Structures are given as structure tokens and as C-alpha cells.
Structure 1
Amino acid sequence: MKVHQQEILNRLAFIDRTIIHAAKACHHDENVPMELRNCVFRLRQRSRQAQQALRARDESRVRQSIDDLTRISDEAQHRLHPSDGMTYALKSAVILTHIELSALQYRLA
């Protein structure tokens, strides 16, 4: 990997925290559509898998996990709408997750 493993681990830890914020916001906001809840749930699962792959030093699984996370975060971001009544906390967590994943994916390219 061109990017140092510790940098990836740090970035994934930060991304995981943003996903946790999104999950908590989903839990506390009854206006969240089920499709977005599912995206956040999938992000949480895939984030764990990415961290496991990194600890196992499995480069192909790390890259695949980050690609999957980026795709799911893109899907989640497209489910946000200005007038949907969801909280700022949820929207900002989803957007920040997507930005961070896109940046990490770019660094790994």
C-alpha cells in the first residue's frame, strides 16, 4: 500500500466515529426514511469489516471495503433532501462520512 497502514487506521477510526454519530442520529430521529437507516446500518457493518481487514493486513479486502463504504455513503448522501425534516446532526454525519471516504479512496488510488 502506498498509504501507511497507521494513516489508514486513523482515517478509518475517524470515519467509524462519523458513522456512529449518524447511527445515533437515526435512532433519535423518527423522520429518517428506512432506506437511509439501512444505508447507515450497512456503513456500520462494512466499517467493522474494513478495520478487521486492515488488522489482518489484507490489502485487497481493505480496498474492497473502502470501495464498498464509499458506494454506500454515496447512496446515503443521495437520500438526503433539504426539506425532508431530518436533523442537522444526521445530515452532517452522512455528508462528512462521504467526504472522508472519498478522500481516503483517492489516497489509496
Structure 2
Amino acid sequence: MLQASEIQKRFTHLEQTIGKASQACHADTTLPKDLMDCVNQLDKQSATATKIAKSKDENRIRQWVDDLEQVGGRAEKACQGATNVDAKVKTAVTAVHAELSDLKKQLH
């Protein structure tokens, strides 16, 4: 398990990455609903990152990351399946999923 300070740093970076993806997606009104739903769910869940990190409950932290990684995977799949998605949106969504996947691997 990562040290508490490292988890907090990773969660802060993750919040920023999700925020960038959310901004990119909300700027494009033509995105499919399933992609927007995933991004909105990521955005909503990322708001609890600080609380989760401070809990220092390893199982809770792992579960939170696992859940977000699944949503990130669905967002990436929806992005890949959609037509005419802006490169900025694709890059942002892929970055979120990559960050979550990496964090998940480090926590397990």
C-alpha cells in the first residue's frame, strides 16, 4: 500500500485530471449521453477523494479506486465507440482511465 502522503498526492492529481476531462466533455454538446454520464459520475465521485484519502482505510481506498477505474473504463470505451469525438476529449478521458488503472495496480 502506498504511504498516506503519496495517496493524497495521487488523489489530488486524479481530481485535477478528472476536472480537465469534465471541462473538455462539457464544452462539447455533441457527445453521447453514455460518455457524459460516465464523466459526470467520475466528477461527482472525485469530490470525495480527500475524504477517502484521509480515512486511511485501505479497503475503502481500494474499493473507491476500483469503482472509479471501472467508470473510467466505461467512459473510455464510450469515447472510442463514438464518432466525431474531439481529440482533446479523447485525450482527457484516456488520461483519466490510465491514471486510475495505474493507481489501482499500485494499491493491489
Q: TM-score when scaled to structure 2?
A: 0.91
Q: Deviations over 1:24-63 (max 9, x none)?
A: 1111101211111110011112222233111122222211
Aligned partner of 2:105 in structure 1 is 106
1:85 aligned partner, one-letter code: N
Give the alignment of 1:84-95 within 5 angstroms. 84-95=83-94
Report SS of the residue matched to 1:7. helix
Q: Deviations over 1:43-85 (max 9, x none)?
A: 1122222331111222222111100010000000101137611
Aligned partner of 2:61 in structure 1 is 62
CA distance in 2, matches of 1:44, 1:27: 11
Give the alignment of 1:22-101 within 5 angstroms. 22-81=21-80, 84-101=83-100
Q: Deviations over 1:73-99 (max 9, x none)?
A: 000010113761122221111101111
Q: TM-score when scaled to structure 1?
A: 0.90
What runs of 5+ residues in structure 2 fail to find an aligned partner?
A: none
Q: Percent identity?
A: 32
CA distance in 1, matches of 2:80, 2:69: 19
Q: CA RMSD in A?
A: 1.5
